[in-house]
Amino acid sequence: MKRAPRRTVCVMPAIRSARVRRALPAVVVASALLVAAAVWAAWPESQAYTTEEQVITVRSGPGGDEPVDLDTTLYLPTDRSGPVPAVLLAHGFGGTKESVRADAQDLAGLGYAVLAYTARGFGRSGGEIHLDSPDYEVRDAQRLLDWLATRPEVSEDADGDPKVGVVGGSYGGGLALMLAAQDQRVDAIVPMITWNDLARSFLPESAGANTVDGVFKKGWAGLFFGGSAGIGTDPICGRFARDVCEMYQRTATTGRATPEAVDLLRRSSPATVLDRIKAPTLLIQGESDTLFPLSEADANARGIAANGTPVRVAWFTGGHDGGQGPRSDRDRVRFLTGQWLDHYVKGEGEAPANSFTWSRVAGFDAMDRGLVTNGYSVDDYPGLSGTATERVPLAGPPQPIANPAGGNPAAISALPGGGDLASAASEVGGLIGDLPGQHAIFQSEPLAQAVDIVGAPTVSIRAASPTGEAVLFVKLYDVDESGAATLPGGIVAPVRLTGLPAEPAQARTVTVTLPAIVRRIEADHRLRVVVATSDQGYATPAEPTLYTVALGGDGITVPTVAGEPIPTTAVLWRWVLAGLIAAVLLGLVVVLLVVRRRQRRADSTIREEYAQTPLVVSRLRKEYADGFVAVSNVDFTVERGQVVGLLGPNGAGKTTTLRVLMGLTQPSGGEIYVFGHRLVPGSPVLSRLGALVEGPGFLPHLSGLDNLKAYWRATGRPEADARLDEAVEIAGLGDSIHRKVRKYSHGMKQRLAIAQAMLGQPELLVLDEPTDGLDPPQIAEMRRVLKRYATDGRAVLVSSHLLAEVEQTCTHAVVVNKGEIVASGPVEEIVGDSPSVRLDVSDVGAAEAVLQRLDGVRSVIGDGANGLVVDINGTARSEVVAELVRAGVGVDRVVPRRRLEDAFLSLVGDNSRGSGDR
């Protein structure tokens, strides 16, 4: 097996952990997220502490007499007047004491003596990995508590009983639970993103199956158990204990667990000892976690609370697949953790309520520079069934679905520990999703109103199989108005069914409890239940089989919880900042009113002679602070029905003129009128103008269609006025309009930008290099689009360096050189007299032979079936025609031909090189 690094990441401070986490493999990232998130909302920026690095030899094992060396660091706050309470800080799987260094430093700054250590089998500690075994890792931790009790810096509850809390995430969270059950000296624990039953975590059971028949979670198991392979003297088992290694090897080979394997995993599971946990417990679990989902914390909470032990449950938006969550969510978790430890370990503050809190992503906040969450709370933990339920009808016929031979190809619902990587992969070649022929779909109608799911939905399905068995994967998707489907957290419900009838008419009904989620399903979205036969993260039957599945009821039941919103630190700070900002805003009001009054005065002044003219530019000048004059004197007019090309060499002032026209920069002199209104920043007349200037800019995480909708909403105009369908048709992106923009090519973005400019069908369209990035067929189509657009009284102003395109597209042209107009008018007038002619002849071959013998003719080029373009080089046209007629060639038409490029070069000459538009 491939050797994996043994480092892990901590979660605080956020910036530091994010930098490290991006650089580490998924196995390390996943096993160590939120290892020591015992950080407080009022966490100090910096506190003094001292450290002691030492190796502590402890004795453990079944007989308690096997020595093992543990690498430790003790952090002691310097600002203390006597003994202080302690925290035992455990790291995640694959980590070391260095993984939690930042958290230990912060805890010491809060007045705790913190013992961070490297668990056996990792880093510089000795011993083998036994998966938080009561005889090994748990006894190791007990001996560390003994050691803390000997330290004069640590306060005690009694002789040999240190005042101590235990904090850990994932592997460390399991240790905290197991240690609290085995050693009553522990005063409080904060286990995070951890398991209740390790057997169920790797062999999920659903629809009444037992764990021996659970569906093997091979993706996570491979990362979890394979992370130590190749380390040490054993190339297969690495530093795993032999019994753990052999258990994994057997299970991974067959895809099924033996009763002995289940027993070994359960010996390392809190599920077997919950009735012995007396330490007040704050359970923090991630909503984005395909390794240890919310159901694991739910089982821990119910088992511990049954004995009367104080328990509080907190769900947050991170997890093994989602990291730490947004900053606003971390603030909530910090506060809860600090409050819990302060009361139950330090003995300070009121007893925290045994309530339930959860959060969901609410959007993006520029102030927080990232995603923000809304937190909610209720007094009593409702479990996974919520405080109320809603029934959402589903529809769909019975459907046959195929189990692929060898379990390949398989759908990918999530990439273990991938977080954002999993989301990104879903857009690369359709890597993540359900494969044709391997899944059935049952879907609701659009929801009349939003539904907040908090808990585990349930759905009944009917299944039949010719083998009598089936492994199925049931998923709940959120489908938006465009048809884009999202699988919350990438979490699925694996189901192994036995005793199934072979005939579809006799299919057996089973009720499936889906994974618990927190998700707002917006109004007009649909719920989609998918039943699939394959999933890359799980072991499936190797034999190809055809199952039949159908709905077992009329819909899906989703749990809801009505909670009270929790103010975040960001919200509180906004109230403080609001008062300060209000004072500044009050001072600006007068200025804004004055500016607005001036704008209204300008807007109210209409030049009646220009009222029906889309654009009038008069004596326009733009001079920069360094003295550079980009535009010195520009005058031109764009009338209705015209497509006007703005031409000029680099540095001539084209882009500067457009920037002034769009209000992106202020002119130094002159005036611009749009339909008779003098153009000023914020002028309402700008709503009659659409533009693409300085390239397209879109939100990469949104689809093309959503970008268009978001842009139009920002204008504040009614959605019905956008004429989205027409704009989308103009874009010509087809189904790609529903893809995220970050997957667009440059040409696709350019076409989308043109569609955005055309939203609402503005009367004046201004485009800067609209064909940039388009291929020849797309350029030809753009030519037709612009010509059509200028009908019905609309007008187009287009800047382009493709002179041939301007010649074929534009009715008029304005040629700018060195900031001044050197020519303007109809294109045919600017082209003028021609050194070339186009001849329509009866015999092209014979005509070519005659013309090539004629003195003075420089070139003859075919132009269509019966046409020739001839450079007569001053030879009289009559002489050319006469020679052809004398040779028996019929001449049907003679048309002067001069390219716009010829006229352009004659106008700007060799003195056309500028300094570049600014």
pLDDT(21) > 70: no
Question: What pLDDT score was predicted for residue 131?
Answer: 94
Our count of domains for the chain comes to 6
pLDDT(29) > 50: no
Cβ neighbour number for residue 475 with a 10 Å cutoff: 23
Both 443 and 483 in a single domain?
yes
Task: Compute CA distances 396 → 315, 443, 479, 501, whole Å.
Answer: 34, 7, 16, 21
Tell me if 657 sits within 8 A of 602, measured CB to CB.
no
pLDDT(243) > 80: yes
Assigned domain for 327 exists:
yes
* 3-class secondary structure, 732: coil
Which CATH number covers residue 866?
A: 3.30.70.100
In this structure, of 291-300, 415-424, 534-543, 882-891, the range with the lowest mean pLDDT score is 415-424
Does 745 or 379 have the greater pLDDT score? Answer: 379
Does 504 or 867 have the greater pLDDT score? Answer: 504
Cα dihedral sign for 319, 320, 322, 323? positive
Both 445 and 586 in a single domain?
no
In this structure, of 161-175, 408-422, 666-680, 713-727, the range with the lowest mean pLDDT score is 408-422
The mean per-residue pLDDT over the stretch 83-98 comes to: 94
The C-alpha angle with vertex 586 and arms to 583 and 592, in degrees rounded to 5, equals 145
Assigned domain for 918 exists:
no
Biggest distance spanned by C-alpha atoms of the chain: 127
Question: What pLDDT score was predicted for residue 573?
Answer: 45
Does 1 or 497 have the greater pLDDT score? Answer: 497
Assigned domain for 111 exists:
yes
Assigned domain for 381 exists:
no
The mean per-residue pLDDT over the stretch 780-803 comes to: 81
* Most confident residue range from 103-112, 258-267, 274-283, 871-880: 274-283
- 642, 630, 640, 612: which is closest to 670 by C-alpha? 630
pLDDT(762) > 80: yes
Assigned domain for 328 exists:
yes
Which CATH number covers residue 413?
A: 2.60.120.260
Amino acid at 248: Y
Tell me if 402 sits within 8 A of 546, measured CB to CB.
yes
Tell me if 110 sits within 8 A of 40, measured CB to CB.
yes
Cα dihedral sign for 10, 12, 13, 15? positive
- Residue 67 is part of which domain span? 14-194+276-362
pLDDT(743) > 80: yes
Question: What pLDDT score was predicted for residue 175?
Answer: 97
β-bridge pairing 86-90 and 164-169: parallel
* Most confident residue range from 525-534, 642-651, 756-765, 888-897: 525-534
Assigned domain for 910 exists:
no
* 3-class secondary structure, 327: helix
Which CATH number covers residue 74?
A: 3.40.50.1820
The mean per-residue pLDDT over the stretch 299-323 comes to: 92
Written as six digits, the tokens of 231 are: 């380390």
Question: What pLDDT score was predicted for residue 395?
Answer: 95
The mean per-residue pLDDT over the stretch 145-155 comes to: 97
Residue 128 CA to residue 142 CA, distance in Å, equals 17
Which of 238, 268, 298 delimits the end of a domain?
A: 268
Both 765 and 627 in a single domain?
yes
pLDDT class of 589 with cuts at 50, 70, 90: low
Both 432 and 515 in a single domain?
yes
Both 644 and 733 in a single domain?
yes
Both 288 and 150 in a single domain?
yes
Assigned domain for 909 exists:
no
Q: Which residue has the tokens 């520990």?
A: 417
Q: DSSP E strands: which ranges in 804-882?
A: 812-817, 820-826, 836-841, 859-862, 867-871
Q: Please provide the size of the chain in residues.
A: 918
pLDDT class of 818 with cuts at 50, 70, 90: confident
Both 837 and 796 in a single domain?
no
Residue 163 CA to residue 347 CA, distance in Å, equals 10
Written as six digits, the tokens of 590 are: 């007068």
Report the b/e string of 144-180 with b at 16+ CB within 10 A: bbebbbebebbbbeeeebbbbbbbbbbbbbbbbbbbb
Both 795 and 873 in a single domain?
no
Amino acid at 304: I
Over residues 675-692, the pLDDT tens digits come to: 888 877 667 777 788 888
In this structure, of 168-172, 569-573, 876-880, the range with the lowest mean pLDDT score is 569-573
Both 253 and 238 in a single domain?
yes
pLDDT(404) > 70: yes
Q: Which residue has the tokens 């592997």?
A: 171
The DSSP secondary structure of 21-85, one letter per residue, reads HTTS-HHHHHHHTTTT----TT--S---EEEEEEEEEEEESTTS-EEEEEEEEEEEESS-SS-B-
Cβ neighbour number for residue 845 with a 10 Å cutoff: 9
Does 514 or 234 have the greater pLDDT score? Answer: 514
Average confidence score pLDDT of the chain: 82
The mean per-residue pLDDT over the stretch 899-918 comes to: 55
Question: What pLDDT score was predicted for residue 228?
Answer: 57
pLDDT(1) > 50: no
Assigned domain for 915 exists:
no
Question: What pLDDT score was predicted for residue 459?
Answer: 96
Both 409 and 337 in a single domain?
no
- Expressed in angstroms, the distance from the first to the final Cα of the chain is 58
Please report, for the chain, how many H helices and E strands are present, in that order.
Answer: 23, 39
Both 824 and 874 in a single domain?
no
The mean per-residue pLDDT over the stretch 809-824 comes to: 85
pLDDT(465) > 90: yes
Q: Which residue has the tokens 């808990």?
A: 455
The mean per-residue pLDDT over the stretch 364-382 comes to: 69
Both 825 and 863 in a single domain?
no
